[in-house]
Amino acid sequence: MIIMPQHVLVPLDGSDHADAGLEYSLASFPEATISAVFVVDPAADNEATAGSTESALDRAEERGETILERAVDRAAVHGRSLQTYLRTGTPHKEILALANTDVDHVVLGSHGQSPISRPFLGRVSEAVVRRAPVSTTVVPEPTTALDDRDLPGSILVPLDGSEQATAALEYALETFPDAEYTILHALSLPFDRPRSEVRGTYLEDLVDDREARAERIFETARSVADEHDVALETETANEMPGNAIVDAAESTDYDQIVMGSHGRSLAARLLTGSTAERVARRSPRTVTLVRGAPASTRR
């Protein structure tokens, strides 16, 4: 059985998106230990006030302490305690070092690099998503948007028949038993035509084959969901996985996406590696990338 997160790490930097990561964690993991970390970066341009006897690094440390104290107060509003870490070094390296301790999940705010485009990961978040040994959640929405959501809400789980995708479904069902679920399979058709235009051609056989595979994947997913007494809605899309997942998130009122990501010992497949990272960069909704094998492979 996939184990829900027991120790969640939330990097903070004073931005609203990082604060949204903390809000998501407090709302989503009521039984987990939550830790917040602020990393003082000596290489950053930490400007000191003219005439101040304090160094730029001292002022950055004070700012970090203030941000962490504010996070502790915010957790108290939720009736929760919060562990805090003030570290000095390269931000993504310090976060990854903590992720290699007893942390089993990292929640990151996604910093918008462009105000006129979709949310994109910031430099630190990108490095953590790629290198973390544990599952990660990327929160691209501001705190005001999360306030309007009743988490866990409606969850989209993309499936491709891989072990990693099954692990993501098991994680979601175990962690969010009260959510509403839709599973999505991207048919990855090499053309963009309505079904009526390919009827009677060799392309119809291709569509039939892809749709039959989708149904086999859905049947396996229903078997997993039945063990949790959860019903699943199903959906297919003609596009390639990355585009299909992001388009579904943009056009439908899902509250979050849970999907498989590559693990250190598992080969990358359709929904893993670069595709998962692409979805995390582009999705307007919170994305959780699950690392690990499904329960059936660990028994």
Residue 199: exposure state from Cβ atoms within 10 A (0-12, 13-18, ≥19): exposed
Summary mean pLDDT of the chain: 85
Which structural domains are found in the chain, ordered by start? 1-148 (3.40.50.620), 150-299 (3.40.50.620)
Structure confidence at residue 265 (pLDDT): 39
Confidence category of residue 269, pLDDT binned at 50, 70, 90: very low
Q: What angle do CA 113, 25, 127 make, to 5 degrees?
A: 40
pLDDT tens-digit readout, 163-203 = 989 999 999 999 999 999 999 999 988 766 555 566 656 67
Query: Which stretches of 188-269 are DSSP H helices?
Result: 195-198, 202-226, 241-251
Mean pLDDT of 289-294: 77
Distance (Å, rounded) from C-alpha 112 to C-alpha 122?
7
% pLDDT > 70, the chain: 82
Structure confidence at residue 205 (pLDDT): 78
pTM of the model: 0.87
Contacts of 235 (CB under 8 A, 6+ apart): 182, 183, 184, 185, 248
Mean pLDDT of 125-147: 90
Closest CA to 269 of 194, 164, 139: 164
How is residue 205 written in tokens? 């056989």
